[in-house]
Homo-oligomer: A and B are copies of this chain.
């Protein structure tokens, strides 16, 4: 490996991720970028997404049982997912209390405990409105 190079494909992929109104997956990015670079390949989209992640320009958010989503917001944050429509929104980070972490440490008998992967489910406002019209 050497230093990353600037290419048309990379710029287009980054722009696509940034332009999305929902966190997009690789296929969505591929289809979006294809409008501008019709012969780009899915493989390239995956490689570019990985290198953008490595450079810290986007974040990969891999979900169990579905394609990874890509997030142009690289600040520390957590996610909330709508149970009804599946949409994922960003939420500012939440810090758990030291007492709670200590409780977990005792219960698990682990030597060290770090908060990770805190995620919420919920129902977004539009879906709630649909359910109670």
Contacts and interface: CB of A to CB of B under 8 A. Distances in A.
A109 interface: yes
A1 interface: no
Number of copies: 2
Interface residues of A, number: 40
A112 B108 contact: no
Contacts of A117: 117-119, 121
A48 interface: no
Interface of A: 62-65, 68, 80-83, 89, 91-92, 94, 96, 100, 103-105, 107-125, 127-129
11 contacts: A62-B65, A63-B64, A82-B110, A89-B108, A111-B124, A111-B125, A112-B122, A112-B123, A113-B121, A116-B121, A117-B121
